[in-house]
Amino acid sequence: MIKTLKNEYMIIKTSSFGAELQEIIDSDGVSRMHDGNPLYWARRSPVLFPIISRFVNKKYTYQGKEYFINTHGFAREKEFIEYESDTHSVTYLLIDDQETFVCYPFHFQFFVTFTLIGAKIKVSYKVINTGTNKMYFMVGGHPAFKVPLYPNEHFEDYYLEFETFETVEKTKLNGSYLSSETEPFLENQKIIPLKYKMFDPDAYVMEGLKSHYIDLKSKHHNKAIRFYFSEFKKFAIWSPLVVDAPFVCFEPWNGISQKYVDPIEEKGVLELDPKEQFDCSYWIELIH
């Protein structure tokens, strides 16, 4: 089911399937999100839970038993309950079931809330451990923002700008998997110019950024996206390598381990004791 929220700055649409943000239209009628065209990428803003990225052969073990789970987890493929809503907010809820328990042996409640506050969208995650054992998980976002906004523009007319100058490394890949190694990326830089096929071999995954936000800007007009990610340990930037896709993704991640070993108890991921909860949020601001 699609839910529409609006105020004087924007209209947004969210879906109960995957608790996914589907559309952002600003007050000038300009769409700010990727439209989900499968030629490039069929998703728009998937929720990453209870894992982020992928395990080797999709496999992990818990208490000595082997489990298989798909890339980025199952939340993006599940129908959520519309838990509550008003004119400027909607909260979706996912509860474990027999299907999730096959690949993820934990009992949980997972809430995703979208709230309009002026020219900003607050996207909040809340995870509650409803079981009797310690729960291991990861959680993150993956919104895709439209680039370029207008037909007479080009992808290369846009750039990314951090709040402050950054010196940071990015995570190296081991094949198609995240590794525990890093390599130099930014050296006292604020700006990353966009160009097609720059994300080689995959996303830029960073940790230890000083900035609280990153901007998506054009060289030719003042419309921009400001994305706040400071409540997340890692931040990734991605666009497909194999096609000239008209979007760039901002990915705030919590729980990604530097040790991709097989037992999940040893992965260094997020942990929740029974009845405990975990909360984090990111913000999307429209700048006109």
| pTM as predicted | 0.96
* Averaged pLDDT, 220-226: 97
pLDDT tens digit string along 67-81? 999 999 999 999 999
The Cα-based distances of 238 to 99, 156, 160, 201 in angstroms read: 30, 15, 12, 10
* Residues in contact with 108: Cβ distance below 8 Å, sequence separation at least 6, in sequence order: 50, 95, 96, 127, 128, 129, 130, 131, 135, 137
The CA distance from 160 to 217, in Å, is 6
The fold of the 2-287 domain, in CATH, is Beta-galactosidase; Chain A, domain 5 (2.70.98)
Domain ranges of the chain: 2-287
The answer to whether 250 and 143 have CB atoms below 8 angstroms apart is yes
Q: For the chain, how many residues are written?
A: 288
3-state secondary structure of 190: strand
pLDDT tens digit string along 252-267? 999 986 555 568 887 7
* Tally of helices (H runs) and strands (E runs) in the chain: 1, 21
pLDDT tens digit string along 183-204? 999 999 999 999 999 998 889 9
Residue 282: strand pairing partners? 123
